[in-house]
């Protein structure tokens, strides 16, 4: 039985220590970053090694949004556009934008599954908010919640059609953050009624997503002390309640500076607040060991959610990638990206 965790790793191939750790910790899944990526053959071998280490078809995640956030990079891989490009197109031609974002994510799915990756930490359905920290920025489709939801839905459809399980993020909304949660704890003082009509709205519209990643943000009108990842009120009342999300809920990276306490305490608090499992990304062995000692096995409702999310990784629909890319280029002609 797997543990309630997803871990990163240190380099381009598994070390002996990592193999031993993975065998003992038995995480539910893994996540890759740029430090784990060189060439397609190398990534494929790494994915095989990770699954061999746990003896099962574990999900392997990556952040492949496009724009500033993509771990499979040019020139070896395609330069996918940032979300903002599709939002701008939507304001001019809704049908073209929906087709374009669906095609883009269908192409992303092909690129990921070709190397063994079958879960994408995308789409980012946070809003663009004027005056907020730039960490989201053009990673968001729009300032308009309806546009974000519509394009987020199309992105999910494209990934799922290609056999890749999507993760909506950062629930219940990171766009209004006044700081980068990698570096500090953001605080949002906007009243709940406004948040429900804006930041929370795309997540409510996509509440049937198989997976979601939390925001390490304090929403003071709901819980003035704890970030959503550690807040029973935010997870129970907002994420599971108002938003209605009943899929697999994972924390954002436990090593980010927005969280306080030891790594074990951060993991324990996330699960206690209502996360199904935790995410740890930096590949630091001492940190992973500390977290692993505190992580229970996936059982009960969290396991059922994990099983349902894993089952989304179905065989891909038939798709002509060359024709799809040409059509995407045509749709985006004049939007400043291809």
Q: Catalytic annotation on 182? A: yes
CB-based contacts of 329: which residues, under 8 Å, 6+ apart? 338
Q: Which residues of 62-71 are buried (b: 16+ CB within 10 A; e: fewer)?
A: bbbbbbebbb
Annotation marks residue 174 as catalytic: no
Q: What is the pTM for the complete model shown?
A: 0.96
Residue among 226, 252, 253, 276 flagged as catalytic: 252
Give the integer Cα–Cα distance in Å for 242 and 25. Answer: 35
The domain 3-332 belongs to what CATH superfamily? Glycoside hydrolase, family 3, N-terminal domain (3.20.20.300)
pLDDT in single tens digits along all 338 residues of the chain = 899 999 999 999 999 999 999 999 999 999 999 999 999 999 999 999 999 999 999 999 999 999 999 999 999 999 999 999 999 999 999 999 999 999 999 999 999 999 999 999 999 999 999 999 999 999 999 999 999 999 999 999 999 999 999 999 999 999 999 888 888 999 999 999 999 999 999 999 999 999 999 999 999 999 999 999 999 999 999 999 999 999 999 999 999 989 999 999 999 999 999 999 999 999 999 999 999 999 999 999 999 999 999 999 999 999 999 999 999 999 998 665 44
Instruction: Give the Cβ contact number of residue 74 at 10 Å.
Output: 9
pLDDT in tens, 69-99: 999 999 999 999 999 999 999 999 999 999 9
Cα–Cα dist 319/138, whole Å: 28
Active-site residue (options: 24, 182, 208, 330): 182
Mind listing the pLDDT tens digit for each residue in 199-216? 999 999 999 999 999 999
């Amino acid at each position: 039985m797997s543990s309630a965790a997803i871990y990163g790793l240190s380099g381009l191939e598994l070390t002996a220590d990592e193999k031993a750790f993975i065998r003992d910790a038995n995480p539910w899944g893994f996540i890759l970053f740029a430090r784990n990526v060189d060439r397609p053959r190398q990534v494929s071998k790494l994915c095989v090694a990770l699954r061999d280490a746990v003896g099962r078809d574990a999900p392997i995640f990556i952040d492949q949004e496009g724009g500033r956030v993509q771990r499979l990079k040019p020139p070896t891989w395609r330069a996918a556009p940032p979300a903002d490009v599709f939002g701008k197109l939507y304001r001019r031609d809704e049908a073209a934008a929906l087709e374009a974002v669906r095609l883009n994510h269908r192409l992303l799915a092909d690129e990921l599954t070709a190397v063994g990756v079958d879960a994408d930490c995308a789409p980012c359905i946070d809003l663009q908010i004027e005056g907020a920290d730039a960490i989201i920025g053009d990673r968001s489709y729009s300032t308009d919640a309806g546009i974000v939801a519509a394009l987020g839905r199309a992105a999910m459809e494209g990934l799922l059609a290609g056999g890749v399980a999507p993760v909506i993020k950062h629930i219940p909304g990171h766009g209004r953050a006044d700081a980068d949660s990698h570096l500090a704890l953001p605080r949002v003082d906007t009243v709940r009624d406004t948040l429900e009509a804006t930041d929370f709205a795309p997540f409510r519209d996509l509440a049937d997503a198989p997976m979601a990643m939390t925001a390490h943000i304090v929403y003071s009108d709901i819980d003035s002390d704890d970030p959503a990842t550690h807040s029973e009120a935010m997870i129970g009342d907002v994420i599971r309640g108002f938003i209605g999300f009943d899929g697999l809920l994972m924390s954002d990276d436990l090593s980010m500076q927005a969280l306080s306490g030891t790594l074990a305490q951060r993991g324990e608090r996330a699960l206690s607040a209502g996360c199904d499992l935790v995410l740890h990304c930096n590949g630091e062995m001492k940190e992973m060991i500390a977290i692993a000692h505190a992580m229970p096995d996936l059982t009960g409702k969290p396991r059922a959610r994990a099983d349902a999310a894993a089952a989304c990784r179905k065989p891909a629909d038939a798709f002509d990638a060359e024709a799809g890319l040409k059509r995407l280029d045509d749709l985006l002609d004049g939007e400043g990206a291809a």
